[in-house]
Structure 1
Amino acid sequence: MLILAADIGTGTQDILLFNSEKEMENSLLMVMPAPTQIIAKKVRTATKKGEAIVLTGNIMGGGPSTFAIRDHLKAGFPVYATEQAALTINDNIENVKAFGVRIVSDEEAKKLACGENALEIVMQDFDPESLSSALSVFEVQMPENYAVAVQDHGNAPEKSNRIYRFELLRELIERGGKLENFVYKPEEIPEAFTRMKAQADSLLKVAGKRKTKSIFMDTGPAAIFGALTDSAAVQPSIVVNIGNGHTLGALVNENKITAIFEHHSFLMNPEKLQEYIIRLADGNLGFEEVFEDGGHGSYIKEAIGFEQIRSVMVTGPKREMLEKLSGSEIRQEISKKLHFAAPFGSMMLSGCFGLLAGFFEKYPEPSIKLINH
């Protein structure tokens, strides 16, 4: 069985091509710029040239791409967008219009692009056609099975997306917090997860009539469960993913997430992170404290006390926040339990291994087990 797992982040998109007939360590790997970074670069190039742009495609991750679009507008150059593409900028289309974006129909967008009145930029988180092109250079064909992760704040035009995202995470933990609660087949994706649904729609459109099997997850839980595939992950465990955009920590016991926090990585530092790790396990890290500090929040359904934690697993591209500390700088409570996760020897692919574990939750293969209790 061949499965392509794609973990779409803010800084990178991490790709794993899994082949069940080979050792996991022989899987093909790629760590490439994130789609939002690619879009941002295209927009900034257009800004330098003084070109109008027309955004087509679908809702995708914002951040760098959104900042570039708004800078393009501030520079005085036109931005046209179809409604679906425009939702990348803000969940409320009226807010997008207020920024200065001109909403056009699909037909109008085609005319603008074909008439060379504007540079077309296709908004898309997961691009199987580009991946297929890249792999074909190495005589590798795309599989028919996919597992994709994006960070989805949910569609909340009248509410802080940080608050709404945490409401969605809390609901999933209340439902059990198991891996299966965070994994969706295309038809199971909740309506609120607009970004996730957009990628599922794009993938199914490309797949056509092929018998494609696919699942979708949020990047946070994918990284958490992926780190648990490391042999050093002995539960109860605190798992921390220090990503380019966000830092997420979770208390996992018996393969269930029972407590969680999420913050922006640029607002974290070693001292704060170590304190959060201990307080999450102890059950006294409050939502308001994290939210008012600029983070998304925290939710604790069940805490067990840090003394009961058997491993602290740290993963993600910004893990140097803890990795480069000297012994005296690491809290004594943490130091003996601290491990830098590198499942199957690939630290950057933690999210992809979580996606694989999720795939086999939906499409079980009795001979394959990735996460140990």
Structure 2
Amino acid sequence: MAGGEARVLAVDVGAGTLDVLVAEQNQRPENWPKLVVPSRSAAVARQIGAATAERRAVVFRGPTMGGGADSRAMKAHVAAGLPFFATAPAALTFDDDLAAVGAAGVQVLDEAEAEREVQRDAVDVRSGDVDLGALAKALACLAVPTAVTAAAVAAQDHGFSPMASNRILRFRTWERAVAEHRPLSSLFWRAESIPTLLTRLRAAANCLAPLGVPILAGDTGPAALLGA
């Protein structure tokens, strides 16, 4: 970019908030722009809740993201006797086992079927841990340059484990790192090198891919330890 100034967009995906930092080479750290906004899980839950109140079907589509508030909203929607449709990647937000998702009342569709339901007046709810378009608009409104030279994202990823507790998988990943005397930095990856089991982290990094810059990704646990 002009003048060779480095600017890094860092995003911490939490259960309740999305914490954003823009690190600028020519600014003092205390002056780096920071934003704390509702997490995408919380925003999606609000969208689903509004559809429930309007007694409308929901189509949930896009990449896998973190569960929590969105999962609870889905269950409340189904409990209200309303249709809830999801494409497979989005459905994995609720459980790594699509059979379990179906048993919870979610109808898993392909993209063409999902589009047809939207045309029939279902509420189109988009998944994804980072809404890059909305984030770019927010920064632009604050006169913060949105052209960056690199990006980083952290999210809590238990790992893909449809047949057993994914929390156990997450802890075993850390246990192996400790047993092998690996540094904390080994638990961070370039976007293209994120292990395939870390489906949420891969999806979150892919949300930032339109930036066209190198992306570093890691679990929030090691990120907090490294920052401390």
Q: Could you state the TM-score of these two structures normalised by the residue count of structure 2?
A: 0.93
Task: State the alpha-carbon separation in 2 of the partners of residues 83 and 172 from structure 1.
Answer: 31
Contact 1:175 1:181 in 2 (8 A): no
Matched with 2:92 is 87
Q: Does 1:221 align with 2:218?
A: no
Output one character per residue of 1:92-116: Cα deviation in whole Å (capped at 9) or x when no partner.
Answer: 0011011111111111112222x14
Q: Does 1:102 align with 2:103?
A: no
Residue aligned with 1:184, SS: strand
Task: State the alpha-carbon separation in 2 of the partners of residues 127 and 177 from structure 1.
Answer: 33
Matched with 2:145 is 141
Q: Residue 174 of structure 1: CA displacement?
A: 2.6
Matched with 1:73 is 78
Residue aligned with 2:85, SS: strand
Count residues in correspondence. 222
Larger radius of gyration: 1
Q: Could you state the TM-score of these two structures normalised by the residue count of structure 1?
A: 0.58
Contact 2:33 2:144 in 1 (8 A): no
Task: State the alpha-carbon separation in 2 of the partners of residues 16 and 200 from structure 1.
Answer: 16
Matched with 1:4 is 9
Task: State the alpha-carbon separation in 2 of the partners of residues 186 and 157 from structure 1.
Answer: 23
Matched with 1:123 is 127
Q: Residue 165 of structure 1: CA displacement?
A: 1.4
Q: Which aligned segments of 4 or more residues in structure 1 are displaced greater than 4 angstroms? A: none
Identity of aligned residues (%): 35
Output one character per residue of 1:195-230: Cα deviation in whole Å (capped at 9) or x when no partner.
Answer: 0111222322x23xx3x1110010111112112xxx
Q: Does 1:175 align with 2:180?
A: yes
Contact 2:17 2:38 in 1 (8 A): yes
Matched with 1:41 is 46
Matched with 2:18 is 13
The amino acid of 2:57's aligned partner reads: A
Q: Does 1:63 align with 2:68?
A: yes
Of the two structures, which has the highest relative contact order with CA contacts closer than 8 Å and spacing of 6 or more? Answer: 2
Q: Residue 141 of structure 1: CA displacement?
A: 2.5
Matched with 1:192 is 197
Task: State the alpha-carbon separation in 1 of the partners of residues 80 and 176 from structure 2.
Answer: 42
Q: Which runs of 5+ in 2 are unaligned?
A: 1-5
Q: Which runs of 5+ in 1 are unaligned?
A: 228-373
Output one character per residue of 1:144-166: Cα deviation in whole Å (capped at 9) or x when no partner.
Answer: 41100010000000001221111
Q: Residue 81 of structure 1: CA displacement?
A: 0.4
Task: State the alpha-carbon separation in 1 of the partners of residues 93 and 19 from structure 2.
Answer: 21
